[in-house]
Every structure is written in C-alpha cells, then in structure tokens.
Amino acid sequence: MQVFCMITLHYPTSKIVKVEIETSPYQTSLIRLYHASNEDAQASLDALQKYVEAQHADINNIHTHAGVITAKAVIPENLLRAIIDELFENKRITASQRADIENDLRMAEGHLAYAQLSGSTLTQAQQDMLHEMLSPYVDAVAEVSEDYKLVCTLFEHIFAKNFSNEKNNVLKLIHNSGQSTEFCRTLMDCLKALNRICWGKANLESTFTKLGASVPNLTTQRMIAANFCLDALFGRFNTLSIDTRFDCAAKLFIMVDEKQHRIYPGHNDKILANILAEKITNTDSFFTFAAFNGAHAMIAKVVEKVCVTQDAQESLKALKNSAVLDATIATLTPLQTLSPALSTSNLAALSLFSRNANADSSDAECHSLQTLNAQNLN
C-alpha cells in the first residue's frame, strides 16, 4: 500500500506498544495496533472491535510475532478522528500523545476527503493539467538517447513501485548511453518527479478539485501518463514498425498495474510473450492486470493505441501470429482502411501534432495551469 501519511504512537509503558495509521487519497485507510502481550491485546482488541463493528468497520489480519500482536483494522474514512478519540477516552493514549498527532491527523483527514471524491473520470482541464505536469519531464526522457529501447525502459521505470531501490541500475543505464555525470543527475531528477506523479505523491489533489468535481483515481492518472509517454516515444521515433510499437506499448501498459507481482521494468518481454501464447489468461490469479480487467483487455488497449487503421491491425496479426491477439482484434470495432496518403510516419506526426495542438489551445489557460503547477511543486 502507498503510504502518504503515517501517524505513529510509541508508548512502551502502555498496554499498546504502538499505533500506526496509514492514509492515502487513493487507498483504504488502515490502523494497526501493536500490543505488549496476548492478554493485553485481547482486551484492547475486544473494546476497539466492538466500537468499529458498530460503525460497519472491521478488524482483521490479527497475527502474533515475537510476542507482539498486530491487528489491522480497515476504518471508514469519516471515523479516523473518532477512532483516535476513542483510544484517548479509554486511556489507551495520553493527552500529550493525543496532542502530538493532531497535525498529522488533520493531514490524514485531508487525504481521506480527497479519497471520497476519487473516481475513474476526469475533465479535459484536469487532463490538460496532468499533461502539463508531465510534459517537461517526459520530453527530457524521450530525448535522452537515439536508442528507442533505452527510452522505453526508462519510461517503464517511472511506473515502478520499487523505483527508489532501482536508482543505481537506472543511473547505470543512462551513463552507459554516453551521457555525462551531470546529465545523469538531471535526468534522474526528471524520472523521480515522474515516479512521484505516477504514484500519486505529487500533491495534485487540490488542483484536481479546482478543475473538476472529482479526483481521478490513481489508475486513471497512470493510464493518462502511460499514453502521454507513448505519444512522446512514438513522436521521437516515428519510423518504428507496428510490431515494435505494439511491444513498447504493451510493456508500458504492463507497468501500469499497481500490484506489480513479478513485474519489473525492462524485463516484461516474457510476460507479454506468455499473454500472447495464452499462458497468462484473463482468469490468471497472479497476473490480474486489474487496471484493465484482465490480460486480454490490456492487449485490446494496446492494439487500440498503436493500430489506427484496419491495415495496421492486419499487419500486426501477421507479424505476431498469436491466436490471443487475433481473437482480441476480432472483438474491436472495425477501423477504416489505410489511405495511400497516410503512411506510418504520417500517422505518428498526426499524433504528435494533436498533442502539441492541445498544449497550445489557450495561452490564458496554460498560464493558469502553470500557476497551479508551481503551487503544487512548492
């Protein structure tokens, strides 16, 4: 789970050793109670469980390790303060401890307020703002090398959950492309900024609420970012073959999945091959691709991204020779036949033109968005 605000209380003289509360604008909030002994834990758990059950919540995942019981409780968003007050009133925490967490509690409540506004839709203004936040960083990554594979791999890294653990590997990738140490540092800053955006850590929620009635959920934001990265990649390398474009898009869409079990940037060729060979199916319990509702639905989105004509779909089918791909394409709305006047490079140019046209649509709106972005970054 992504942790955006963690409230932690330590008091070894109490029956409860520690309380942790995790909140996020995009995830379910959690409270964990760490107890000094099984006997003390049961009394505390009984009291808290009785309270939260009355509020249609529950405590689960109770387990013991090294003599300490950890209980995880899923708490309704509007009950966070009530739970803390309940602990205080029952003398589970002191007045000093209660005062110490007030600022964090207010921050957590802000996260939960945004979580209640979360949805899968977004307005054009919200999408434009997200594009503007992404644009300078994405453009910098797209220009890093003449090797499209390296650029694609770097884009995959920005969606990685363990990006902070992979920084040395990413630096090595950039340095091996012949770039200076100073350039490597600058590009790493771009990748870090993109990773924060893709994991909901860029504090964009208040700006989203200024531009629409809801906050787009993390999956929606990650899909917008993935498509934006692909537009930059295909605009930069506009002569890539249809099967190469398909592979790049598929590997990036694989990284959109938030669970990322056995999914690693730069190493997803086998996963894609297994999907196309139907070794990973729509009902696979491990590779669920929840953002797309299954592996085949993800492949459909990839085809829609890279194939803008019937001819392109037929070419891709011939090159990939996959029954899964053939069946997926058969479920899609038929596309027009390619006009002789439209080559692959023309189509890439049209995609890039459309992106630039949206960015230049209104100087006044862009100025307004830049002001909001500056507020977020500060």
**228 and 320 fall within a common domain:** yes
CA–CA distance, 49 with 242 (Å, rounded to integer):
56
**68 and 138 fall within a common domain:** no
**272 and 306 fall within a common domain:** yes
Of 138, 151, 290, 295, the C-alpha closest to 224 is 138
CA–CA distance, 139 with 137 (Å, rounded to integer):
5
Helix (H, G, I), strand (E, B) or coil at 18: strand
**107 and 151 fall within a common domain:** no
**38 and 67 fall within a common domain:** yes
Paired tokens of 264:
């690693």
**277 and 215 fall within a common domain:** yes
pLDDT score, position 22: 76
Q: Output Rg (C-alpha) for the chain, integer angstroms.
A: 24
Residue type, 65: H
Of 32, 112, 118, the C-alpha closest to 77 is 112
**217 and 305 fall within a common domain:** yes
pLDDT score, position 274: 93
For 29, residues 6+ apart whose C-beta sits below 8 A from its C-beta are 21, 22, 23, 74, 75, 77, 80, 108, 112, 115
CA–CA distance, 143 with 133 (Å, rounded to integer):
17
pLDDT score, position 344: 41
- For residue 39, the domain's CATH number is 3.30.200
Domain that holds residue 304: 120-377
pLDDT score, position 324: 94
Q: With beta carbons less than 8 A apart as the criterion, state whether 190 and 16 touch.
A: no
Q: With beta carbons less than 8 A apart as the criterion, state whether 251 and 156 touch.
A: yes
pTM of the entire structure?
0.75
CA–CA distance, 151 with 174 (Å, rounded to integer):
10
Q: Count how many domains the chain has.
A: 2
10 Å CB burial of residue 95 (0-12, 13-18, 19+) is: exposed
83, 116, 149 - which closes a domain: 116
227-241: per-residue pLDDT in tens? 999 999 999 999 999
**107 and 141 fall within a common domain:** no
Q: At which residue do the structure tokens 């479920």 appear? A: 331
Of 176, 175, 345, 155, the C-alpha closest to 233 is 155
86, 116, 146 - which closes a domain: 116
pLDDT score, position 358: 44
**104 and 131 fall within a common domain:** no
**30 and 146 fall within a common domain:** no
Q: With beta carbons less than 8 A apart as the criterion, state whether 221 and 198 touch.
A: yes
Of 147, 163, 74, 68, the C-alpha closest to 115 is 74
pLDDT score, position 359: 43
CA–CA distance, 26 with 214 (Å, rounded to integer):
12
Q: With beta carbons less than 8 A apart as the criterion, state whether 94 and 157 touch.
A: no
**137 and 158 fall within a common domain:** yes
Per-residue pLDDT tens listing for the chain (378 residues): 344 455 565 544 555 666 677 777 887 666 666 665 555 555 655 655 565 555 545 555 555 555 455 555 566 666 778 878 877 887 777 888 888 888 888 888 888 788 888 888 899 999 999 999 999 999 999 999 999 999 999 999 999 988 988 888 898 889 888 888 888 999 999 999 999 999 999 989 999 999 999 999 999 999 999 999 999 999 999 999 999 999 999 999 999 988 777 788 888 999 999 999 999 987 777 788 888 888 999 999 999 999 989 999 999 999 999 999 999 999 998 875 544 444 444 444 434 434 444 444 334 333 434 444 444 444
Q: How many CB atoms lie within 10 A of CB 311?
A: 16
116, 132, 153 - which closes a domain: 116
Q: With beta carbons less than 8 A apart as the criterion, state whether 232 and 225 touch.
A: no
**359 and 224 fall within a common domain:** yes
pLDDT score, position 180: 87
